[in-house]
Amino acid sequence: MTTADDTGPVPMDRGAVFQLIRNQLAEILEIQPDGIQESASFVEDLDADSLALIELVEGLESEIGTHVAGFRIEDEDLEDLRTVRDAVDYVTSRLREA
């Protein structure tokens, strides 16, 4: 995150959120990041189990939390995140609200 003059932090753009999620998933699933597309389903395409998704959430909360105090992904929202695009849209939306 960068700052724009003295107005405070500039939220991560959608592309940066996608790269963060892609890199986190690649590390967790031990695959190449460029093999992860936005349209990929966590379960069907990436073979991510619930533990991998929990690790992803923890990693995102930790990474984004260093820039946005109190950033959190709600447990009840996890079931709606079925694809990488769902996760990118969710995180981007939460960052706009912050």
**Catalytic machinery residues:** 49
Closest by Cα among 36, 39, 28 to 86: 39
Structure tokens at 9: 């932090």
